[in-house]
């Protein structure tokens, strides 16, 4: 049985908030056992909790904020567009990927694929 749209919405909201202000362990806690991460699409797929934790640990020490722009939910899948703004001293780095996720019956993330490339990063 697929999770409700409300459960998926809560997981996406928690994901965006945690990616911006949480720890890698808090982000990984949103993932189901056996989950995969492909970020960005076309790179090696991370298939272990350890590799997913390593991936998200990069963001822990940054001053960031995130904003959800669009969310679409169908069955046990969601596609959403959001911005992640990172403050680097006097500069800001903004990336606005489109993420596609699948969820298990409990609303945990089974897979995440992020659609973006280097040209999508904006420095101001």
Integer Cα distance of 97 and 47 in angstroms: 21
Q: What is the DSSP string of 10-64?
A: HHHHHHHHHHHHS-HHHHHTTEEEEEEEESSTTSPPB-SHHHHHHHHHTTTTSEE
Please report, for residues 45, 56, 64, the alpha-carbon distance to residue 70 in angstroms, rounded to integers and kept in the order given: 25, 22, 19
Q: Which residues are catalytic?
A: 15, 39
């Amino acid at each position: 049985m697929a999770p409700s749209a409300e459960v998926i919405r809560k997981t996406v909201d928690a994901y965006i908030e945690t990616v911006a202000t949480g720890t890698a362990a808090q982000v990984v806690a949103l993932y189901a056992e056996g989950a995969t991460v492909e970020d960005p699409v076309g790179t090696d797929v991370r298939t272990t909790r350890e590799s997913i934790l390593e991936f998200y640990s990069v963001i822990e020490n940054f001053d960031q904020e995130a904003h959800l722009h669009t969310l679409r939910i169908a069955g046990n899948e969601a596609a959403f567009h959001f911005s992640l703004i990172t403050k680097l001293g006097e500069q800001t780095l903004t990336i606005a990927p489109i993420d596609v996720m699948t969820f298990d019956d409990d609303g945990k993330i089974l897979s995440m694929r992020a659609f973006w490339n280097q040209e999508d990063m904006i420095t101001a």
